[in-house]
Amino acid sequence: MFSKKKPNDTENPTTENTAEEQLNQEQNEDAGAATEETVTEPVEEISAEEKLKLENAALNDKYLRLFAEFDNFKRRTQKERVELLQTAGKDVIISMLPVLDDFDRANKATENATDINAIREGVQLVHTKLKSILAQKGLKEQESINTVFDTDLHEAITKIPAPTDELKGKVIDELEKGYTLNDKVIRFAKVVVGS
């Protein structure tokens, strides 16, 4: 670019060398800067890519752990549910065993009994005991006769003409009692409705 001047020229030879050196330095710096840019850009891309890969791996690991934990939770709750269903009525059955014993004694007593009234009283006592045990467990009988027919509590078997106007739409007869357990209907009363 610059032509070399002879030392005889008026300018100082050291100045020529310094200008040339300066030009070479600038070219080297520009080339070095371009090299640094090309070198640093891939390094940044790789590091960003690696960073994303690490984040992806961490999220996958977290997902797998969460999935495994949920799967364990499902298995554990399913096992507990099966166990609960198998032993759900255990306390009710245990409380019914004395009634079963009373029925066994009543059957033995009927083999040699001649007095029907004594048998009737014994059966009545066992029946009362059974009802009281079930009431302690939350079982209640529904009173249906002479009440307004309610589809949430009753199941109509048939309709008959009402003997009086007051009994229209009300329960006239009950064929099978309805029961609630802890205020939830477990068996609807089968009734005859007046129309």
How many percent of the chain have pLDDT more than 70?
A: 76
Q: Is 83 in the same domain as 146?
A: no
Instruction: Point out the domain boundary residue: 71, 87, 103.
Output: 87
CA neighbor of 125 nearest in space, from 107, 104, 99: 99
**Is residue 180 within 8 Å of 142, Cβ to Cβ?**
yes
Q: Is 171 in the same domain as 154?
A: yes
Residue 16 lies in a domain: yes
| pTM exceeds 0.75, yes or no | no
Domain containing residue 109: 89-137
**Is residue 99 within 8 Å of 134, Cβ to Cβ?**
no
Please report the sign of the dihedral spanned by the C-alpha atoms of residue 131, residue 136, residue 139, residue 143.
positive
Q: Is 82 in the same domain as 16?
A: yes
Q: Is 27 in the same domain as 64?
A: yes
The widest CA-to-CA distance across the chain, in whole angstroms, is 159
The Cα 140–Cα 133 span in angstroms is 11
Residue 6 lies in a domain: no
Residue 178 lies in a domain: yes
- The per-residue pLDDT for range 108-121, each reduced to its tens digit, is 888 887 888 888 88
Q: How many domains does the chain have?
A: 3
Q: Is 108 in the same domain as 64?
A: no
The Cα 97–Cα 60 span in angstroms is 56
- The per-residue pLDDT for range 10-55, each reduced to its tens digit, is 444 444 556 666 666 666 665 555 444 444 444 455 788 888 999 9
